[in-house]
Structure 1
Amino acid sequence: MTPEQIHKLISEGEFPETSSGRELIETHISWVILCDEFVYKIKKPIRYSFLDFYTVERRKHYCDRELELNRRFAPDIYLGVFPVHEVNGKLMIGEHYGTPVDYALKMRKLNPERRLDKLLSQGSITREHIISLAIWIADFHKKSTVIREKDVLDVGVKFNDLATQKPLISAQLGEARARIIDWSVEVSDMFLRKNEALLTERLKAGFFRDCHGDLHSRNIFMLPAPQPFDCLEFNDDYRQIDVLNEVAFLCMDLDAFEKHTLSNLCIQYYNLHFPAMRTAEERDLFVYYKAYRANVRAKVNSLRAGSESDKGKKQRMLAETLKYLNMMEAYLQSLALA
């Protein structure tokens, strides 16, 4: 679908249920339409190096895949995949009139005020919340499919991709920040060379699993029991990772909220219930994974800043880029000094 069709669907299209209003939330890969009780997610017709939603058939495939993967832990939220048709100029979801123009993933709407990032911002998250979340993640990982074949050094390739953002970071944040990228790539390469045998051993030991892949505070509700959602469906490689890499994303996110005590509590209780960090070397690996996750957030915010025309939004994205670059540097410095 096109942006024009999406706005037409929202303003005058037919949905399976009546709703007092419809709100559009746009991400870099999807359109998300919020109704009174349900949410409809439609993938954008885009193609990147790491995903391909370009054809209707591929969007249908990844809607089905997203439904399947998220039903592992959120079956009551992910309800089905429905066709979108255009009949006599009118767009409708769920009706069957010839060939669909697209597909929509239907989800049950949850209370947005119970999302973890909002609760963290309000200071409403307690030790008990984080302990229950850490145990939830550990239990999920225990049941997840073990991955036996994986290029354990591929995380370094993904880490080093931050170098593509050097021109923008240098121009917008200064040459000193751009030099941090060169230094971080060097430290990352050295760390992975030193720990290749450890990563290989972890693969053989079953610590690489089919995880969530995008487990951060905006993808978790506390109702009050933990309810993660929106796992990564478009690229298996990004989801089939070391379990410590997954937990590191959430702990890095807690660090970004300056909730360092909660971050430490999270990995502590996770490790009590699924001992995946057994040695000092694996603790260093966990810190490396936090640096990698900060690296990815810096890159994503830099990419968004580079394409943003609104000056206010651009400055906020650049501020986020700087914050995550500084976090990445601090994590890696702690490894360099270890």
Structure 2
Amino acid sequence: MTKNQIDELISEGVFPEPTEHRKLLETHISWVILCDRFVYKIKKPIKYSFLDFSTLERRKHFYERELVLNRRYSGNIYLGVLPIYEFQGQFIIGGDEGRVVEYALKMSKLDPEKQMDVLVSQNKVSNLDIVNLARYIADFHEHAKIIYDTSGIDIGQEFNDLAGARSFLTENLGSEYGDRIDSALKASGTFLRKNKKLLEDRLKMEFYRDVHGDLHTRNIFLLPDPQPFDCIEFNDKYRQIDVLNEVAFLCMDLDALDRNDLSELFIEQYNRHFPAIRNDKDKNLFIYYKAYRANVRAKVNSLRANSASNSADRKRALSEVKRYFELMEDYLCSLK
């Protein structure tokens, strides 16, 4: 579907149940429609180096993957995949009349005030919340599928994807970003060459699992029991990773929110339940993974800025690029 068709669906379309409110949230890869009791997520028909939603068949496949993968830990949030029909000039979610033009993932609507990033901003996340979350994620990781056929060194290629944003960032944030990208990529390459055996050993020691892949505060509710959602379905290699890479994202996010105390408490408690940091080399790897995660957020916000429909959204996304870029550099400078 196009953005104009999404707007038409929201204003005039037929939904499976009555709803007074229909609010659109947009990410760089999806449209999310918030109704009174349910949420409908629709994938954009896009193709990037890391995902391909370019055809209806591919999008349907990934809707179904998203449903199965998220049901591993999300209880009754993920309800099903529904077709969207065009019938007599109107878009209809569900039913069986007309031509299928898209699909939507139906989810239960949770209290937005209980989303972790909101609670952190209001200083409402307690140490007990973090202890419970660490235990929940550690238990999920402990029972997650073990991955044996991947290479941790591939993360270098993913880190280097930031180079693709060079021309956009130098044009919009200054020419110095070219040199800063080069320095970051060099530091990453040096670290990975020095620690190739460590990555290989961690694969053999079963630290690579099929996990969430996108674990940060905006993808967690505290109800007060922890409730992660919205894992990565579009690219297995982003989800089948070292568990330290997974929790590094959450800890980096907390660092970015100026809650280093919660970040440190989480990794301490997580490691108590699932000992993924065994020595100083692992601690150093954890810092590298945080740098990688800051790198990813800088890249994603660069994409968001590049596709922004107005100057205000573009400015906000560029501000986020700068913040995560600086955090990435701080982590890289602290590597030993």
TM-score, normalization by structure 2: 0.97
Alignment correspondent of 1:87: 87
Alignment correspondent of 2:17: 17
Instruction: Using the TM superposition, give the Cα deviation of residue 15 of structure 1 relative to its aligned residue in structure 2, in angstroms.
Output: 1.0
Deviations 1:247-290 (CA, angstroms, capped at 9, x unpaired) = 00000000000101110111000000000110100000000000
Amino acid at match of 2:143: K
Instruction: Using the TM superposition, give the Cα deviation of residue 151 of structure 1 relative to its aligned residue in structure 2, in angstroms.
Output: 2.1
Instruction: Using the TM superposition, give the Cα deviation of residue 3 of structure 1 relative to its aligned residue in structure 2, in angstroms.
Output: 1.9
Alignment correspondent of 2:27: 27
Instruction: Using the TM superposition, give the Cα deviation of residue 93 of structure 1 relative to its aligned residue in structure 2, in angstroms.
Output: 1.1
Equivalent residues in 2 for 1:179-218, closer than 5 Å: 179-218=179-218
Task: Tell me whether 84-93 or 304-313 shows the greater mean CA deviation.
Answer: 304-313
Unaligned stretches of 5+ residues in structure 1: none
Instruction: Using the TM superposition, give the Cα deviation of residue 309 of structure 1 relative to its aligned residue in structure 2, in angstroms.
Output: 4.9
Q: Percent identity?
A: 58
Instruction: Using the TM superposition, give the Cα deviation of residue 11 of structure 1 relative to its aligned residue in structure 2, in angstroms.
Output: 1.1
Q: Distance in 2 between matches of 1:318 and 1:31?
A: 21
Q: Distance in 1 between matches of 2:307 and 2:65?
A: 29
Instruction: Using the TM superposition, give the Cα deviation of residue 293 of structure 1 relative to its aligned residue in structure 2, in angstroms.
Output: 0.4
Q: Distance in 2 between matches of 1:27 and 1:269?
A: 32
Deviations 1:145-202 (CA, angstroms, capped at 9, x unpaired) = 0000002211001111112222232233333343221111111111101111110011
Q: Distance in 1 between matches of 2:138 and 2:234?
A: 23
Amino acid at match of 2:102: D
Q: Judge conservation of contact 2:86–2:98 (CA < 8 Å) in 1.
A: no
Alignment correspondent of 2:169: 169
Instruction: Using the TM superposition, give the Cα deviation of residue 99 of structure 1 relative to its aligned residue in structure 2, in angstroms.
Output: 4.3
Q: Distance in 2 between matches of 1:258 and 1:140?
A: 27
Deviations 1:41-84 (CA, angstroms, capped at 9, x unpaired) = 11111122221112221111111110000000113100011111
Alignment correspondent of 1:278: 278
Q: Distance in 1 between matches of 2:303 and 2:73?
A: 31
- SS in structure 2 opposite 1:313? helix
Task: Tell me whether 27-36 or 244-253 shows the greater mean CA deviation.
Answer: 27-36
- SS in structure 2 opposite 1:295? helix
Equivalent residues in 2 for 1:12-91, closer than 5 Å: 12-91=12-91
- SS in structure 2 opposite 1:59? helix
Q: Distance in 1 between matches of 2:177 and 2:100?
A: 48
Alignment correspondent of 1:300: 300
Unaligned stretches of 5+ residues in structure 2: none
Instruction: Using the TM superposition, give the Cα deviation of residue 98 of structure 1 relative to its aligned residue in structure 2, in angstroms.
Output: 5.2
- Supply the RMSD in Å over aligned alpha carbons: 1.2
Instruction: Using the TM superposition, give the Cα deviation of residue 104 of structure 1 relative to its aligned residue in structure 2, in angstroms.
Output: 0.9
Instruction: Using the TM superposition, give the Cα deviation of residue 311 of structure 1 relative to its aligned residue in structure 2, in angstroms.
Output: 2.6
Q: Distance in 1 between matches of 2:313 and 2:85?
A: 35
Q: Judge conservation of contact 2:87–2:98 (CA < 8 Å) in 1.
A: no
Instruction: Using the TM superposition, give the Cα deviation of residue 331 of structure 1 relative to its aligned residue in structure 2, in angstroms.
Output: 0.6
Q: Judge conservation of contact 2:28–2:303 (CA < 8 Å) in 1.
A: no
Amino acid at match of 1:72: R
TM-score, normalization by structure 1: 0.96
Q: Distance in 1 between matches of 2:79 and 2:309?
A: 36
Q: Distance in 2 between matches of 1:267 and 1:281?
A: 15
- SS in structure 1 opposite 2:105? strand
Q: Distance in 1 between matches of 2:183 and 2:273?
A: 36
Q: Distance in 1 between matches of 2:178 and 2:54?
A: 33
Q: Distance in 2 between matches of 1:16 and 1:319?
A: 39
Instruction: Using the TM superposition, give the Cα deviation of residue 304 of structure 1 relative to its aligned residue in structure 2, in angstroms.
Output: 2.0
Q: Distance in 2 between matches of 1:131 and 1:91?
A: 45
Q: Distance in 1 between matches of 2:238 and 2:45?
A: 20
- SS in structure 2 opposite 1:100? strand
Q: Distance in 2 between matches of 1:82 and 1:65?
A: 14
- SS in structure 2 opposite 1:85? strand
- SS in structure 1 opposite 2:100? coil
Deviations 1:304-328 (CA, angstroms, capped at 9, x unpaired) = 2233353332222222111111111
Amino acid at match of 1:227: Q
Alignment correspondent of 1:269: 269
